[in-house]
Amino acid sequence: MKELIKKSVENAMDYPQYNLLLKQLATTGSTTGEQTEEKIHYTKLNFKRSKRLDKHAMIPSEKLRAFKNMAEKQTWLVICEPWCGDVAQTLPYLNKIAEKSDNIHLKILLRDENPELMDCFLTHGSRSIPIVIMLDANLNLLQTWGPRSKAATKLVNDYKAQHGKIDDAFKETLQVWYNNDKGVSVVEDILETMEISV
């Protein structure tokens, strides 16, 4: 596992590289992995969402201070895909945290190109994303987080219990929830995962 993680970190993209990939895919009308109409559509949509969040998303200063004051350096290795809505709503906040903290190094891998790593971090047996793998300075595993905040997970689980599956109507509802939440749940969950008090 340690060797797999080390190799994965070495092969991972940084956020500007990921954003460039996302832009290229959206511009050319393609996506990663299987080229379905739905995935291409969501890749274009997620490019717009990410761009908006990169520009306008804010993280409260007291929360940023907590990340800045971390005692040790970490690498956050994020497994994701450009067509995933949860990724588009999470990754820009992770990047803003990493940008403001000298102690956090953000790296990004595509799930479907890295099945061996992904299968080490399944959620209830599924390859749900994004998954944030938090590593210490020596690339030892500290914690993982994802694929959604606890609040978003509850919304998803409640809807599945009532309707049996996630459909397009729910995806719109979840999008509205993300817009209203403004990354608060993601940031608070990650602080809690890392056992950092603000």
In a domain? residue 189: no
Mind listing the pLDDT tens digit of every residue in the chain (198 residues)?
999 999 999 999 999 999 999 999 999 999 999 999 999 999 999 999 999 999 999 999 999 999 999 889 999 999 999 999 999 999 999 999 999 999 999 999 999 999 999 999 999 999 999 999 999 999 999 999 999 999 999 999 999 999 999 898 898 999 999 999 999 999 999 999 988 766
Q: How many domains does the chain have?
A: 1
In a domain? residue 198: no
pLDDT value of position 198 = 60
Q: Could you list the residue range(s) of the whole structural domain that residue 23 is in?
A: 2-147
Q: What values do phi and psi take at 105, rounded to 5?
A: -110, 115
pLDDT value of position 43 = 97
In a domain? residue 196: no
In a domain? residue 180: no
In a domain? residue 174: no
Here the CATH number for the domain that contains residue 91 is: 3.40.30.10
In a domain? residue 184: no
